[in-house]
Amino acid sequence: MKFTKLFLPAILGLALVTTACQEGAMQQKKDDTTGSTSSTEGTEKATGTLTWAGEYMSDGCGFTLEIDGKTYKPENEDTIDAAFKVEGSMPVEVEFVRLNEQIDRRCGLSPDSKAMDGIRIVSITKN
């Protein structure tokens, strides 16, 4: 009985400390205004069109970004703030790094490849 009274608070305390440390580390990696990771070498800036095609788990296809008529797949699309998850497209200002590799995310009900040139978004803001 005495062991249970000490064990439960100790586990809860450890869980809280672990969660707080993880959130602190994640916050340092994120840009406060965009939710994107901090800048790296070889970045480019452009005006583009961000399209949200829904969550993968709901047969959606996530984000795509069109710049100068070419469509790219962000490899770090999970870091794009939820405020950008609106149906359709929106104009954006984006800082990004070209990855020089294709990203193929199978999505929707189609078995076909949807491979696109990959980019890593450094920062993104609504235009």
- The CATH number of whichever domain residue 73 belongs to comes to 2.40.50.500
Residues 25 and 52 in one domain: no
Separation of alpha carbons 43 and 50, rounded Å = 18
State residue 111's pLDDT score. 78
Three-class SS state of 16 = helix
Residues 65 and 106 in one domain: yes
Domain for residue 108, yes or no? yes
Here the tokens at position 98 are: 């070209």
pLDDT digits (tens, 9 = 90+) for 38-92: 445 789 999 999 999 999 888 889 999 999 999 999 999 999 999 999 988 999 9
pTM for this entry: 0.65
State residue 8's pLDDT score. 52
Residues 5 and 51 in one domain: no
Domain hosting 93: range is 44-126
Strands 116-126 and 88-103: antiparallel
Separation of alpha carbons 2 and 71, rounded Å = 62
